[in-house]
Amino acid sequence: MRYIGKRILAVVQVFVMAVMILVAAGTSKIEANAAPKEVAVPALGIDVSSYQGLINWDMVAASGVQFAMIRVAYRAMATGILSEDVYARYNLQEAQRVGIRVGAYVFSSAVNEAEVMEEAAFVLNIISKYRITFPVAYDCEGYKSAANRHYMLDKMTRTALAVKFLDTISVNGYTPMFYSSKNDMTDSAYWDMNMLNRYKVWVAQYATDPFPITPASTYTDVHAMWQYTSSAAIAGINGAVDMDVSYFSYDSVADAKVAGGAELISAEMAANVQYTDVNEVVMANTQVNIRTVPSTDSDDTIVVPMNPGDMVYRVAIGNNGWSKILFNNQTYYAYSSYLQKVA
């Protein structure tokens, strides 16, 4: 019954959004900086990752959701391995197909400039083929736990890495956005907000009574988006999902940076692919192509061929017959049966 109640609340939120979100924009201390095609019209959205599993985006669109922030990549907090979210391309593809405007984010545990630049390049390589209208965000969490690799970073180093990522996103033609919690940003507790306030800020704060009952975040510094719950129920998504209010929108949809767009990914392919993380050197036992996607449907996805005896570092093995490998500090794919582990 509690789950049904949450679904009813989510439906009510959608119907009252047009009125309540304007109230929120008028009563909060939020400002939105003008940008090409940006308008000062609030919107209701969600942010998703592989934790939501296979999403029925037609149902999500019918529920009234207007935008989606989609996790594209994540760096493991313990091992530091950078991986693509297994549902990233499918979610980007399907959200834009049904008319939901799309943004993206990376979950970072970078500890130096080389790693954060790797994350930026990794994200840009994926999103360039999709119509990314909403911002591209930097999300770094877990730094308060001694068990995580980025625990030792001080506030200024952590902030400098975020700035490096966001500036790289900006010069590549996307709107950068910084994500963190209200508590960690207030009074620059864990981030130097004097440096980060020049970007759009996305604040996480979960009120006891979520939006629209609570009309605005109590974070008093300038912010452009509010993640107001992590436990919403939306048709088309199994289990809980984060929901967001943006205090800006766009009067049109952005074009993909790469003409022709991305290779289509079926629901079956997205649902059935799972990767197991590994840390090992592998050698090609025959000629095998390194590709940008785990598919042989198009020669356009070939990055470079590996000759017999060539070695690369493998970071994950998929149940789809493909391995994730590192090449030139980027994650690509190669057919697993053509690779053998080096003892």
Residue 97 maps to a domain: yes
**CATH number for position 281:** 2.30.30.40
Q: What is the DSSP letter of 313?
A: E
Residue 50 maps to a domain: yes
Query: pLDDT tens digits for 80-103?
Result: 888 888 899 999 999 999 999 999
Residue 275, amino acid: Y
Pair 224, 287 in one domain: no
Pair 24, 72 in one domain: yes
Q: Of 217, 170, 163, 224, nearest to 194 (Cα)?
A: 163
User: What does the DSSP assignment read for 21-53?
Assistant: HHHHHHHS-------TTEES--EEEEEE-GGG-
The CA–CA distances, whole Å, from 173 to 41, 131, 165, 256 equal 22, 12, 13, 11
Residue 219 maps to a domain: yes
Residue 264 maps to a domain: no
Identify how many contiguous H helices and E strands the chain contains and give both numbers: 8, 18
Residue 258 maps to a domain: no
- The band of 174, judged by pLDDT with boundaries at 50, 70 and 90, is very high
Helix (H, G, I), strand (E, B) or coil at 323: strand
Mean confidence (pLDDT) of the chain = 87
Pair 170, 279 in one domain: no
Pair 244, 280 in one domain: no
The HSE-up count of residue 310 (CA atoms within 13 Å, CB side) is 16
Do residues 191 and 184 make contact, with C-beta atoms less than 8 angstroms apart? yes
Pair 224, 302 in one domain: no
**CATH number for position 191:** 3.20.20.80
Judged against a pLDDT cut of 90, whether residue 274 lies above it is answered with no
Pair 191, 334 in one domain: no
Which residues on adjacent β-strands are paired with residue 322? 335
State the sign of the Cα–Cα–Cα–Cα dihedral 80, 73, 175, 181. negative
Q: What angle do CA 189, 67, 171 make, to 5 degrees?
A: 65
Domain boundary among 198, 216, 250: 250
Helix axes 88-97 and 113-127, enclosed angle (nearest 10): 40
Q: Of 213, 78, 201, nearest to 142 (Cα)?
A: 78
Residue 244 maps to a domain: yes
Q: What is the pLDDT of residue 297?
A: 61
Beta strands 275-284 and 339-341 are antiparallel
Domain boundary among 210, 235, 250: 250
Pair 336, 221 in one domain: no
Query: pLDDT tens digits for 20-79?
Result: 444 334 433 334 343 448 999 999 999 999 889 899 999 999 999 999 999 999 998 988
Residue 261 maps to a domain: no
Pair 242, 281 in one domain: no
Pair 70, 215 in one domain: yes
Cβ-Cβ contacts under 8 Å for 106 (sequence gap 6 or more): 71, 72, 73, 74, 75, 119, 120, 122, 123, 136, 137, 138, 139, 165
Residue 325 maps to a domain: yes
Q: What is the pLDDT of residue 294?
A: 77
Kindly provide the residue ranges of all beta strands, DSSP E only, lying in 222-274, ordered along the sequence.
225-232, 241-246, 249-250
Query: pLDDT tens digits for 276-320?
Result: 889 899 999 989 999 987 777 677 789 999 999 999 999 989 887
Kindly provide the residue ranges of all beta strands, DSSP E only, lying in 239-343, ordered along the sequence.
241-246, 249-250, 275-284, 288-291, 302-306, 311-318, 322-327, 330-335, 339-341
Which structural domain range is residue 239 located in? 2-250
Total domain count, the chain = 2
Judged against a pLDDT cut of 70, whether residue 337 lies above it is answered with yes
* Buried b or exposed e, range 164-187, using 16+ CB within 10 angstroms: bbbebbeebebbbbbbbbbebbbe
Q: Of 55, 61, 57, nearest to 87 (Cα)?
A: 55
Q: What is the pLDDT of residue 10?
A: 46
Pair 20, 132 in one domain: yes
The CA–CA distances, whole Å, from 288 to 73, 107, 232 equal 25, 31, 45
